[in-house]
Homo-oligomer: A and B are copies of this chain.
Amino acid sequence: MRESDGVADLTDVTQTQGGWLSSNDLEQARGALPIVYIEAVPVRVDALGNVTHVGLLLEATPTGTLNRTLVSGRVHLGERIREALLRHIEKDLGPVALPRIPTDPTPFAVVEYFQSPEVSGFVDARQHAVALAYVIPVAGDCEPSSQALDIAWLTPREAASQDVLVQMIGGRDRVLRMALAHAGVLP
């Protein structure tokens, strides 16, 4: 659901693994079926599991504005959801982020993105996406990938502030607040 996703798919097209699609095939599929996504809210936790910080990605959009966003991306053909979570977190936070993929593969929310804002309030201009959303503690060092300009680690209170929420588009501010509520740290 991120603008960068199409680019990534274009780059990936030389891969031989069955999970990859040409841009053209992906466009065709998007006109026919809902697409399975994962969405992850990276967090820092203390020894008791309390969320101390939330990681938000800063990205430049094609129109030149800056958005804050979450880790997200497609689940490939033949790929486990766990594998997609790990792959997208490493893509966005770097190879030594050391995410703790949950034992329980059930998401805290299923977020339904539609092209029209009227259906669910969650919007993805390119497609109908069914995103499985997870809160993922990361224990290692994080460095922004080429797609993201920066990663900011905010306290739950900072992350839930109006200043930050208005920088998130497509309803991702609601996903963030749902994640904070789920983790018991919605201010």
Contacts and interface: CB of A to CB of B under 8 A. Distances in A.
With most chain B CB atoms within 10 A of its CB, the pick from A36, A47, A80 is A36
Contact of A108 (B35, B80, B106): B106
B110 A107 contact: yes
A168 interface: no
Contacts of A108: 104, 106
Contacts of A183: 103-104
A107 B109 CA distance: 8
A108 B183 CA distance: 11
Contact of A101 (B47, B104, B132, B174): B47
A169 B128 CA distance: 30
Interface string A113-146: 0100001100000001010100101000000000
Interface residues of A, number: 56
B184 A177 contact: no
Contact of A83 (B31, B48, B77, B174): B48
A14 to B, nearest CB: 16
Contacts of A50: 82, 103
Interface in A62-77: 75-77
Interface in A128-181: 128, 130, 132, 135, 137, 174, 177-178, 181
A100 B137 CA distance: 10
